[in-house]
């Protein structure tokens, strides 16, 4: 089984972090093919960055599917370009937010998503509403620029921990969802420290992708995702 893990931003260190997290939980016969977008923003922090990231994401997805990928994961918690990706592709495509929230729903009634910058909060709140989780999920922002998560001299981790502690106290949260792909390496240690389930979207999506492939389930091409592949693959973006 080959799962393409596509980072829609151009920061390769984040791709490596996600790939390590996904590979750690993948089955022995699963290959995680990690890909960094060749075009787009260095980080995705709000609507503008999302829009810039979609063309590069779709190009990498097209190439991954043509190269034999059985499923794909979009490595951004904003589920950047998810609907467009599903319309273009025939293989299952998963987003981190949808995967993480669905998994968290099995574990808790009160869930807090802790994300990075304030600009990310409203897009994630809209996803929570879209995925039918508004009644049980609260979204918090720790005030962390995404790229600070890779800076060992920053206070990003301490601010993240402070926001999780606040979620447990003020929201009475029973589970925490990490609202950024750049936090993929932190879930296990945070779960041990705080004593509640801590869910990372990369890990959740990797295991769900394996399940979909093993069940031979593919993206439906009726209704919303009925888009001719030859049309999706034509034009300057895919011809260059």
High-pLDDT (> 70) share of the chain, %: 94
Task: Map residue 73 onto helix, strand or coil.
Answer: strand
pLDDT tier, 150 (very low <50, low <70, confident <90, very high otherwise): confident
List b or e across 63-79, with b for residues whose CB sees 16 or more CB atoms inside 10 angstroms: ebbeeebbbbbbbbbbb
Distances in whole angstroms, Cα of residue 228 to Cα of each of 55, 93, 194, 232: 18, 17, 48, 6
Spatial distance between the Cα atoms of 20 and 122, rounded to a whole number of angstroms: 29
Residues 13 and 73 in one domain: yes
- If you count DSSP H runs as helices and E runs as strands, how many of each does the chain have, helices first? 10, 8
Number of domains in the chain: 2
- Answer yes or no: do 8 and 68 share one domain: yes
pLDDT tens per residue across span 124-134: 999 999 999 99
Q: Which of 20-24, 61-65, 141-145, 233-237 has the lowest mean pLDDT?
A: 233-237
In tens, the pLDDT along 18-58 reads 999 999 999 999 999 999 999 999 999 889 999 999 999 99
- Domain range for 144 is 98-202
Residue 52 has phi, psi (to 5 degrees) of -65, -30
Please indicate, yes or no, whether residues 11 and 52 belong to a single structural domain of this protein. Answer: yes
Statement to judge: residues 141 and 223 lie in one domain? no
CA distance 150 to 71: 28
Q: Which residue has the tokens 């800076």?
A: 151
Residues 35, 152, single domain; the answer is: no
Strand order in the sheet with 2-7: 31-36, 2-7, 71-74, 93-95
Q: Which of 110, 145, 115 has its CA nearest to residue 127?
A: 115
Residues 149 and 120 in one domain: yes
82 and 120 co-located in one domain: no
CA dist 143 and 165 (Å) reads: 15
Q: What is the DSSP string of 159-199?
A: HHHHHHHHHHHHS--SEEEE--GGGTTTHHHHHHHHSS-EE
Mean pLDDT to the nearest integer, 215-226: 91
Same domain for 102 and 198: yes
**Mean pLDDT score of the chain, rounded to an integer?**
93
pTM for this predicted structure:
0.93
Q: 182 and 106, same structural domain?
A: yes
Q: Which uninterrupted H or E stretch holds 144?
A: none
Q: Is residue 132 domain-shared with residue 183, that is, in the same domain?
A: yes
* 119: nearest Cα among 142, 95, 98: 142
Is residue 106 domain-shared with residue 82, that is, in the same domain?
no
Q: Are residues 231 and 193 in the same domain?
A: no
pLDDT (mean) for 97-102: 98
CATH code, domain with 214: 3.40.50.12500
């Amino acid at each position: 089984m080959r799962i393409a893990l596509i980072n829609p931003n151009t920061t390769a260190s984040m791709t490596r972090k996600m790939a390590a997290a996904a590979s750690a939980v993948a089955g022995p016969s699963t290959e995680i093919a990690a890909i960094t977008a060749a075009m787009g923003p260095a980080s995705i922090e709000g609507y503008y960055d999302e829009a810039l990231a979609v063309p590069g994401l779709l190009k990498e997805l097209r190439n991954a599917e043509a190269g034999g990928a059985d499923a794909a994961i979009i490595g951004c918690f904003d589920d950047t370009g998810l609907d467009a990706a599903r319309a273009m592709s025939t293989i299952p495509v998963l987003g981190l937010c949808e995967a993480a929230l669905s998994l968290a729903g099995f574990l808790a009634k009160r869930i807090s998503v802790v994300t990075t910058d304030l600009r990310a909060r409203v897009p994630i709140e809209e996803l929570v509403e879209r995925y039918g989780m508004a009644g049980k999920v609260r979204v918090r922002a720790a005030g962390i620029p995404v790229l600070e998560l890779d800076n060992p001299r920053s206070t990003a981790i301490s601010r993240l921990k402070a926001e999780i502690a606040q979620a447990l106290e003020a929201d009475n949260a029973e589970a925490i969802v990490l609202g950024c792909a750049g936090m993929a390496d932190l879930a296990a240690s945070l779960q041990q420290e705080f004593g509640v389930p801590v869910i990372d979207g990369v890990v959740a999506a990797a295991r769900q992708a394996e399940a979909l492939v093993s069940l031979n389930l593919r993206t439906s091409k009726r209704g919303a995702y009925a888009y001719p592949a030859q049309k999706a693959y034509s034009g300057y973006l895919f011809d260059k």
